[in-house]
Chains A and B, each alone.
Chain A
Amino acid sequence: MFAATAGLLANPTGGGLDSTRALTFLFVTITFLVYLYIGWRSRVRETGEFYVAGRGVPAIANGAATAADWMSAASFISMAGLISFMGYDGSIYLMGWTGGYVLLALLLAPYLRKFGKYTVPDFVGERFDSETARVVAAVCAIFVSLTYVAGQMRGVGIVFSRFLEVPIWQGVVIGMVIVAFFAVLGGMKGITWTQVVQYVVLVVAFWIPAVAIAKLLTGNPVPQAALTFSDITEKLSALQVDLGFAEYTQPFANKSKLDVLCITLALMVGTAGLPHVIVRFYTTSSVRAARWSAGWALLFIAALYTAAPAVAVFARYNLLRALDGARIVGTESLRTDDETSREILHLVAAESAANSAASEPITWATSWQKTGLITLHDANANGVIELDNAHGKFAEASIDPDIIVLATPEVAGLAPWVIALVATGGLAAALSTAAGLLLVISSSIAHDLYIHFVDPHAPESRRVAVGRAMIVVAIVAAGYFGIHPPGFVAQVVAFAFGLAAASFFPIILLGVFDKRTNRAGAIAGMIVGLLFTTAYIVGNRSDKILGTEEPLMGPWCFGISAEGIGVVGCMLNFAVTLVVSRLTAPPPAHVQMLVESVRVPKGSHAPEAHFDESDADADNP
């Protein structure tokens, strides 16, 4: 397919921008048709299929689906850009968002798979023999997933608006319709198989430009090897020192060592506690498959996460070299939506012996200025863009980290079909994560709250119908937040990880590993962890979240920032749960037997038996 389109491109009809748009349209249409086809093929009728894909997903397929579920628009579009801007300090995302899978694989996934059922609140409610705990868990799951999904829908809208030049709201609506189709028809089964395809699309879309740029800049086509064994990092560090900045690899440039440690750990623990990731391990065919599929999942994630820091270095080097010293040859005024006008600078590349592209116009700078994601300003009016530190950090250019991945193929002058592929990959990443999150929201409302409390005797057909209806409700809510993003969305991501770290992770862990943990301990621990973490994040970010003039409190807890405070909340939860559990009566015999049973893989081959209480007991040792 690629050879054919490349041939098509050689045919010089139409301008470069038009062919990029046509190709993007073509790629997006093809992938969307594939998603729709899979959704149609995977339509389901039963609750087990709807929520956990009938527990028939092979380990490798579940690994790929988990990877697509996990890697969102943020991983695909924003992460390499963030690392590019943060240098060493960007490692918090790389280690934090992968290290969590070790915790998940060793401490949670196999036991939750053995437990069976459909959701995380199912486990919490049953293990602690408490409806309150179930409701708290369900509400947390809904909140965490809803904040997350709004960002995905926004990502869909941005990709559509930049590459197909339709308004953001139309892009969001198209994305909503596609997700609705395969999620409503196929539930977890449709979502799983679509995610497997989406993983392939997104990893190919990330790797092709990464390989092309690695080859171009270093001669080595493997991005990871190019990062480690070529001199590109040294060259970037030297360039930064020339411009008056610290070396790229310098640690703790903007964050203290303790803060880096806490944020990394909070992201790890939060990752392991995120309900849409955990629930993927309910779909495997056995406990053994759950363990192996966690390994496949991280391998598939690592394929992107170890390439991202290489792309970060290449992109930063390219951007600095392309923009620094570029001459301004013209300006135009662009009227924006809100009736203000913005000045767009036309640039040509700097003239130097080493620069083969000298004096050629830099067209990507013009098109990205139009989106407002790059702003250039000739502060000292000398007709040249200067990035050195003399007038403050990047005084003459401001670049949104989000465009690093999207713009790098253009900056490096790669073919239009590569640019189109990147747009398609961004959409795959956003849609796959959105679908997984929507299922968690739907199952929390439909299964954990409605069926459990309001309509416990509902027949199979009504259970699936309620699940479907709730997915539609969740999609509409997510779409609304995607079109009208609340100003605090970026802040709320810290919230999602902090809450997952301070609530789910300690409770599930102790639920499996400490038989003595009881209802009173778990509820007290969750409340203390949640209250502390919420208060600290809201207090430190109240200027963004509540709209106060100044944050209500500073980072009083050893200077730990809002992103890292989940670790402290998590430790408080552990401490309170352990102490309160030991001061109150031990959990009842049937709960202790449940704990014994989840620790042993034997018996999980008949998961449906768990729905019948008497059978579940017979399985216990």
Chain B
Amino acid sequence: MGKNLADDHQQVSSGAQETQRADRLRSYWRANLRLIACLLAVWAMVSLGCGVLLVEQLNAISIGNVPLGFWFAQQGSIYIFVVLIFVYAWRMDVLDRRFEVGE
């Protein structure tokens, strides 16, 4: 951590490096936004989509012994929510390292 701080001070001293750093932060933020958009699309699809809007159509199919739409609304969407958050935490760890912005 102390090393990071020292790195920061060296970068501030050089104008070119400063621009490079701003570019890197912009790319980091864009990558973050893309990841958020993908995960939220899945979030909306399983809960609002499969659990509410399409529930009647999906109920024609069964998973185990319960209608699929009902299962998405009371079980499936919750499992997928948990997975989504862990995927985000994991992918952000990767992005933090790639763009050298981690703590």
Residues of A in contact with B (beta carbons under 8 Å apart): 83, 88, 90-91, 94-95, 98-99, 101-103, 105-107, 110, 224, 227-234, 249, 251, 257, 260-261, 264-265, 268, 286-288, 291-292, 294-295, 298-299, 302, 305-306, 309, 596, 599-605, 621
Contacts and interface: CB of A to CB of B under 8 A. Distances in A.
B29 A599 contact: yes
Give the top 3 A-B pairs by smallest Cβ distance, nearest first.
A91-B73, A228-B64, A295-B85
A413 B48 CA distance: 38
Contact of B101 (A88, A234, A261, A600): A600
Interface of B: 1, 4, 21-22, 25, 28-29, 32, 36, 39-40, 43, 47-48, 51-53, 55-56, 59, 63-67, 69-71, 73-75, 77-79, 81-82, 84-86, 88-89, 92-93, 96, 101-103
A477 B72 CA distance: 41
A95 B73 contact: yes
A305 B74 CA distance: 9
A229 B1 CA distance: 51
B75 A602 contact: no
Contact of B103 (A99, A224, A288, A299): A288
Contact of B67 (A90, A106, A249, A596): A249
A605 B96 contact: no
Given A98-B81, A233-B66, A601 B73 contact: no
B51 A91 contact: yes
A309 B39 contact: no
A390 B29 CA distance: 62
A264 B47 contact: yes
B3 to A, nearest CB: 12
A94 B74 contact: yes
Given A257-B52, A265-B48, A600-B25, A98 B78 contact: yes
A230 B56 CA distance: 22
A105 B32 CA distance: 13
Nearest to B73: A91
Contact of A249 (B1, B70, B103): B70
A260 B29 CA distance: 34
Contact of B75 (A309, A596, A599): A309
Contacts of B53: 257, 261
Contacts of A605: 1, 103
Contacts, number: 147
24 contacts: A91-B70, A95-B47, A95-B73, A99-B43, A102-B40, A106-B88, A227-B66, A233-B65, A249-B59, A251-B59, A251-B70, A257-B53, A264-B52, A286-B103, A288-B89, A288-B96, A288-B103, A295-B82, A295-B86, A302-B82, A599-B25, A599-B29, A603-B103, A621-B25
B21 A306 contact: no
Contact of A291 (B25, B56, B89): B89
Contact of A94 (B36, B56, B73, B84): B73
Contacts of B59: 249, 251
Contacts of B4: 602
Given A302-B81, A604-B103, A251 B74 contact: no
A83 B74 CA distance: 10
Nearest to A234: B65
A101 B36 contact: no
A187 B47 CA distance: 37
A299 B87 CA distance: 13
B97 to A, nearest CB: 11
Contacts of B79: 302, 306
B35 to A, nearest CB: 8
Contact of A99 (B21, B39, B81): B81
A105 B85 contact: yes
Among B21, B22, B69, B88, max chain A CB count under 10 A is at: B88
B74 A229 contact: no
Given A264-B48, A600-B25, A102 B55 contact: no
A228 B78 contact: no
A309 B64 contact: no
A307 to B, nearest CB: 10
A288 B88 CA distance: 11
A306 B103 contact: no
A298 B77 CA distance: 12
A99 B84 CA distance: 10
Given A91-B74, A251-B55, 18 more contacts: A83-B74, A94-B77, A99-B47, A103-B43, A106-B40, A106-B84, A107-B36, A228-B63, A228-B65, A249-B66, A261-B48, A264-B48, A264-B52, A291-B89, A302-B82, A306-B75, A309-B74, A601-B96
B103 A287 contact: yes
B70 A621 contact: no
A122 B19 CA distance: 31
Contact of B22 (A287, A291, A621): A621
Nearest to B89: A291
A314 to B, nearest CB: 13
Contacts of A286: 103
A268 B48 CA distance: 11
B20 to A, nearest CB: 11
B84 A88 contact: no
B82 A298 contact: yes
A481 to B, nearest CB: 32
A104 B25 CA distance: 22
B48 to A, nearest CB: 6
A95 B40 CA distance: 14
A97 B29 CA distance: 28
Contact of B77 (A99, A224, A596): A99
A99 B42 CA distance: 11
Among B29, B56, B74, max chain A CB count under 10 A is at: B74
A95 B77 contact: yes
